[in-house]
Structure 1
Amino acid sequence: MHDAVIVGAGPVGLFLACELGLAGCSVLVLEREPEPGTPWRTAPLGRRGLFATSIAAFDRRGLLEPLLAEAAGLPRFAGADEPGRPRLAGHFAGIVLDAADVDLAALPFRLPSPVPDALMTSLDTVEAALAERAAKLGVEVRRGVAVDGLTQDGEHVVVHAGAHEYPARWAVGCDGGRSAVRRLAGFEFAGTAPQFTGYVALATIPDADKLNPGFTLTPEGMYIRMPAAGHIGVMDFDGGAFDRSQEVTREHLQEVLRRVSGTDMTLTELHLASSYTDRAMQATTYRRGRVLLAGDAAHIVSPLGGQGLNTGIGDALNLGWKLAATIRGRAPEGLLDTYSRERHPVGAWALDWTRAQVASMRPDPHAQAVQGVLRDLLGTREGTTYVFEKLSGTSVRYDLGSTRPLVGRTAPAFRLEDGTSLTDLMQDGRGVVLDFSAGAGLRASAAAWEGDLRYAAGPAENDLGFAAVLIRPDGVVAWAGERGPDRDSFERAARRWFGDASV
């Protein structure tokens, strides 16, 4: 019997598997697709944007290098001080953000870091890096396994696939928007109906110059001409009427693209095509008994703004250490319940973020009037910075019961004067105590949680005015001491997140 069975070997499932494997848990991952690396996972169709908090997660687990290698030469975030680089910082409802207008100094508690604030990568590259790490950690991945049943009691859960049964102490559905685990475990999935049908395709377009490059909003919707030849997207505000079970034909896509673009462009050949909608749905809770959900299984949004992958990585990072502590018998009471409590509001925000974009893109005079206002706002430094802060994830702050504004946020890129970085300290998946005042009495307290925490002391290049900080394994600041660390408050925070040190 495994400690955990994860259904779905996409980025979210594999990241979670690595987190559990890092903590010494036995993990089995079941994946329906027989082989990795389909055209929908590789560039250009599988290309996705990662933002600051996701990039920090990969960096702090030593997984960022393959992503940076692929990103070299691709459009990415670049500041005004990087001449010759694309000045792209994302978009809102097809309105492109100019990176030169992002005031990085205004982002909350941001410290200089050698890693970028955003980058482009592909699902295939992400999954390959995670799969390699998972294998090294002893995680077993079985492909070609379609889950069709699930039973649980107070102690165990059994995942069924045909004649095979996979018992475990816990099961996690990371199997996408049409999650079998979500359905079989009886999760309620609620949300809003679609406004449009979206299409993404690779095609031969001999007169592609009739289409504007990048995002183009029109009175009929929006189309996107990507940098790769023949890579196009289109959003048709038909109320989501196109049935996803239908094949997207060359004739149908050409008709839709002509109508939305207002051109007579021609598709002579359709190589790959798929459709989607902006249906925005979320599980009302992320846990039912011994079954949990993460990623698209827990929440689905349209691709607008690139929040799907980033929100899913955040789910896996938050859940991983909490589930591992529960499996190891080291979790304080209620720790696992904080997963849904912390991540559900983030998922709800992602749904509203995409709904707001869709509302402003509708092909009617009211929405188009809103577009004009948005363009004015996003043409300002304050407006661009606001949207970039939301996209980056740096605005996310969990309510951990503290009035100190750093608590509940992803930890900044602290670096000690001796060169030790927070990235160096978080590779093994433990929490971290950074004692900038060195000698404030935290060493002995931190030692009581040696199996869960790493202690590092010394002056920081920039301590942001804090004497010490306690950082959870997911990189979130759980406690901050501002005027000479208070051992009692530190120990209360440590017990809250890591349990009684005497146990």
Structure 2
Amino acid sequence: MDVMDVVIAGAGPNGLMLARELALAGVRPVVLERLPRPSDQPKANGIVGQVVRLLEQRGLAGAATAAVPAFIFGAMPLDLRGLDDNPLHAMGIRQPDLEALFETRAAELGVEIRRGHELTGFTQDDAGVTLQVEARDAGAYELRARYLVGCDGAHSRVRKTAGIGFPGVSGAGIVSRAAHVTIPGSVFRPERMELEVPGAGSYGLYAWHRTERGAYALMPMPGPDATGTFTISSMEWDVATPDDDVPLTLGELRESLARVLGGVELPLAPPTGPGPHLLRRLNGRDTRIADRYRAGRVFVAGDAAHVHSAMGAPGLNLGLQDVVNLAWKLAAEVRGWAPPGLLDTYDAERRPAAERVAMHSKAQLALAAPGPEVTALRELFGELLGEAGNRRRIAGLLAGSDLPYPMPAPAHPLVGRFLADLPSGPAGRARAVLLDPDGGLRVRHDRVEVVPHDGPDAVLVRPDGYVAWAGRPDDTLDAALETWFGEHLVPAA
């Protein structure tokens, strides 16, 4: 049986991004996806957070993105205009389009994606992982890999089979509903970010809005084929709901919105244009984090490693940074030059990031809940958001830029943090970079690219964009090169 270097379970955005990153690093993974074709189900319509800057570095973001002037936190407005060094960037793209982009770029690098091939089980030993696969057209077969990564979602078979726990809490009593709709007679006012509905009033767009009875969100659908179509959502607490196997109807959503809006009934109608169209109810809001991201030769990433509320749109920012963090380390192990303990830093760096998202997504749900006590809390929180320093702190929290990675390097403002503004280089590169201010640095191997720059300090940047070391070149730079890349400086002649 052939032995693959890495097998990835799941061809969603995280699995495809991981495959591309591995291929950029010289490893050709195989991706297994149980669905026979890419999903066209409506999900996210964009990416928000620090990973947008990384996608720019990889040549995957199109035109350069800009920091958003405003956002929301817990259904409260977050004004970011005039904020120095605003870290919160956004990229508008439908998730099916994002997956298609990642798949195209991965295929260009020779990645093999096996659709209709479902991972049904596996065993592992000291040398690798033996996978059992069921293919729709070819039947059952076995596959051998040195490593397996589960990017197979919240109900991950990889996580469960590996014996990785998934502790957390369930937000019982919360029900959310969402659908694509048209609203007859309504007038879209983009300059005011409002929708006027005759006989019902005006409603804010692009954000969650809280009332004393729940919360609602109204979002125009992107694209010329979706003109006049909106995604409308409601969220309620402690209400009776049908069982999960009872499909949501527009009538049920209309009744929910009427309760949230205090008796106002919006004239919802089915959407126009090509589908599929969203019509979904979610009972409960789980917040869970895998108790470890690695079990031997098996790893989990994305939703397989963490689930949380979607408030603040943290999912793709968190998951895509997981796989970019893991990819270069796994590639180093496969190619035989990984320093001792490198793979263990994946868990050490990414689990705290998930814990941070779990914290703020639960806090946002609490701020959006009904009740006079929450109203008082929102009044106090609104006063705090009046200070620029607090708004900057919340923006960093949402962007995922406020938590530096722990680095065994001398203190420096850049160490442990993401460096967005790298010198220009080949689009899509995913290499370690040593920024050299003096022009005299050389390294022994080709694992780190030395690039001249105009700054006062040398800066060692990992392939995931994080700074591993910064300062004036000395013995600690050589130690950092060895710690992360098994590299050394070449002494000056």
Settle same-fold status: TM greater than 0.5: yes
Query: What is the correspondence of 1:428-467 to structure 2 with a 5 Å cutoff?
Result: 428-439=429-440, 442-443=441-442, 446=443, 448-450=444-446, 452-458=447-453, 460=454, 463=455, 466-467=456-457
Q: CA RMSD in A?
A: 2.3
Q: Equivalent residue for 2:278?
A: 272
CA contact (8 A) 2:61 2:91 kept: no
Q: Equivalent residue for 2:215?
A: 222
Q: Equivalent residue for 1:329?
A: 336
Identity of aligned residues (%): 38
| In 1, Cα distance between equivalents of 2:265 and 2:37 | 39
Aligned length: 451
1:47 aligns with 2:45: yes
Q: Deviations over 1:72-127 (max 9, x none)?
A: xxxx745xxxxxxxx4x32101112223152327x6xxxxxxxx932322212221
| In 2, Cα distance between equivalents of 1:122 and 1:129 | 11
| In 2, Cα distance between equivalents of 1:173 and 1:180 | 8
| In 2, Cα distance between equivalents of 1:3 and 1:127 | 23
SS in 1 for 2:325: helix
| In 2, Cα distance between equivalents of 1:473 and 1:332 | 15
Shift, 1:473, TM fit: 1.0
SS in 1 for 2:145: strand
Shift, 1:389, TM fit: 1.8
1:92 aligns with 2:73: yes
| In 1, Cα distance between equivalents of 2:428 and 2:270 | 47
The code of the aligned residue for 2:51 comes to S
Change (3 A) 1:242 1:298: farther
Q: Equivalent residue for 1:185?
A: 162
CA contact (8 A) 2:181 2:269 kept: yes
Q: Deviations over 1:110-157 (max 9, x none)?
A: xxxxxx932322212221221111111111111123322122111111
The code of the aligned residue for 2:36 comes to P
CA contact (8 A) 2:255 2:265 kept: no
Q: Equivalent residue for 1:33?
A: 35
SS in 2 for 1:148: strand
Greater share of residues in helix: 1
SS in 2 for 1:235: strand
Q: Equivalent residue for 2:146?
A: 169
| In 1, Cα distance between equivalents of 2:480 and 2:459 | 11
Q: Equivalent residue for 2:189?
A: none
Change (3 A) 1:5 1:233: same
Shift, 1:25, TM fit: 1.3
| In 2, Cα distance between equivalents of 1:59 and 1:119 | 10
Q: Equivalent residue for 1:201?
A: 179
TM-score (norm 1): 0.84
Q: 2:466 aligns with which of 476, 484, 492?
A: 476
| In 1, Cα distance between equivalents of 2:417 and 2:299 | 23
Query: What is the correspondence of 1:219-298 to structure 2 with a 5 Å cutoff?
Result: 219-228=212-221, 229-238=229-238, 243-262=243-262, 263-269=264-270, 271-276=277-282, 277-298=284-305
| In 1, Cα distance between equivalents of 2:27 and 2:240 | 42
Q: Equivalent residue for 2:21?
A: 19
| In 2, Cα distance between equivalents of 1:240 and 1:9 | 36
TM-score (norm 2): 0.86
Q: Equivalent residue for 1:104?
A: 85
CA contact (8 A) 1:101 1:384 kept: no
Q: Equivalent residue for 2:274?
A: none
Unaligned runs of 5+ in 1: 79-86, 108-115, 415-420
| In 2, Cα distance between equivalents of 1:192 and 1:492 | 42
| In 1, Cα distance between equivalents of 2:358 and 2:467 | 25
Query: What is the correspondence of 1:53-132 to structure 2 with a 5 Å cutoff?
Result: 53-65=50-62, 68=63, 77-78=67-68, 87=69, 89-104=70-85, 117-132=89-104
SS in 1 for 2:332: helix
Q: Equivalent residue for 1:380?
A: 387
Unaligned runs of 5+ in 2: 135-139, 187-196, 222-228, 272-276
SS in 2 for 1:62: coil
| In 2, Cα distance between equivalents of 1:312 and 1:239 | 32
Q: Equivalent residue for 1:346?
A: 353
